Chain A
Amino acid sequence: AQSVTQPDIHITVSEGASLELRCNYSYGATPYLFWYVQSPGQGLQLLLKYFSGDTLVQGIKGFEAEFKRSQSSFNLRKPSVHWSDAAEYFCAVGLFNQAGTALIFGKGTTLSVSS
Chain B
Amino acid sequence: DTEVTQTPKHLVMGMTNKKSLKCEQHMGHRAMYWYKQKAKKPPELMFVYSYEKLSINESVPSRFSPECPNSSLLNLHLHALQPEDSALYLCASSRDINNEQFFGPGTRLTVL
Contact = CB atoms under 8 A, between A and B. Distances in A.
B41 to A, nearest CB: 7
A31 B89 CA distance: 26
Interface of B: 4, 6, 31, 33, 41-43, 45, 48, 50, 55-56, 58, 88, 90, 92, 94, 97-106, 108
A42 B45 CA distance: 17
A43 B104 contact: yes
A41 B88 CA distance: 8
Nearest to B97: A100
Nearest to B3: A43
A90 B31 CA distance: 21
Contact of A42 (B31, B33, B94, B106): B106
Interface stretch (A11-19, A63-71, A76-84, A102-110): A102-110
B105 A42 contact: yes
Interface in A38-79: 41-46, 49
Contact of A44 (B41, B43, B99): B43
Contact of B100 (A42, A43, A46, A107): A46
Contact of A101 (B41, B48, B103, B105): B48
Interface of A: 34, 36, 41-46, 49, 90, 94, 96, 99-103, 105-108
14 contacts: A36-B103, A41-B88, A42-B105, A43-B6, A43-B104, A43-B106, A46-B101, A49-B100, A90-B43, A99-B48, A100-B33, A101-B31, A101-B99, A107-B41
Contacts of B48: 99-102
A74 to B, nearest CB: 14
